[in-house]
Amino acid sequence: MAGDAEANPGAEPDPASVARAIVLRQLTSSAKSRLQLSRKLAERNIPDDVAEAVLDRFQEVRLIDDAEFADMWVRSRSQSRKLAKGALRRELADKGIDADTAAAALEQLSDADEEESARLLVERKLRAGTDLSDRAERDKITRRLASMLARKGYQPSQAFRIVGEVLDAHAETQTDAPDGLLDP
């Protein structure tokens, strides 16, 4: 087919060849869902019937697998971004992953894993030496940290509970430390 274009430089390239090249290039950079690839082909004005045929073939040979993509996405985003199941579910839906496939991928995260991620995130964001004895300051810190968790998909009640527990533990370590041993 490439020979046809070389022999006849004015000839239009075969849409299926162009579609295959686009899909291969997209998959080389990172894993993609079928919907993401379909959108990319539509952007490049590949006819719908050609795009579907190419995507079907790639799926048939397992170069496109939405279930594997969803599993990988959940593992990666939950570890790197500490996202909760709710946020991951929304991201998967945006990428065209159906609800059942998303639910199966999200099963790899336990509630305990999700809570531990939230706790680590709050502990990391809490500045050393933060004075929690001032009620107004503690309330402001609580709102900020709970809002951060909410943006990552944690339920508000869970976010406020975890933030409260971390702040309580932090305040306890401040009162237990001998004078002069805390960072200012």
Is the per-residue pLDDT at 24 higher than 90? yes
Rounded mean pLDDT, 123-145: 87
Rounded mean pLDDT, 173-183: 56
Task: Supply the mean pLDDT for the chain.
Answer: 89
Quickly list DSSP for 68-102. Answer: HHHHHHHHHHHHHS---HHHHHHHHHHTT--HHHH
- What's residue 139's pLDDT? 93
- What's residue 131's pLDDT? 77
- What's residue 7's pLDDT? 53
Residue 182's pLDDT band, with cuts at 50, 70 and 90, is very low
Do the beta carbons of residue 78 and residue 148 sit within 8 Å?
no
Q: Which residues contact 106 (CB under 8 A, 6 or more apart)?
A: 74, 85, 88, 89
Is the per-residue pLDDT at 150 higher than 50? yes
Is the per-residue pLDDT at 23 higher than 90? yes
pLDDT digits (tens, 9 = 90+) for 151-160: 999 999 999 9
Structure tokens at 4: 């046809």
Is the per-residue pLDDT at 142 higher than 60? yes
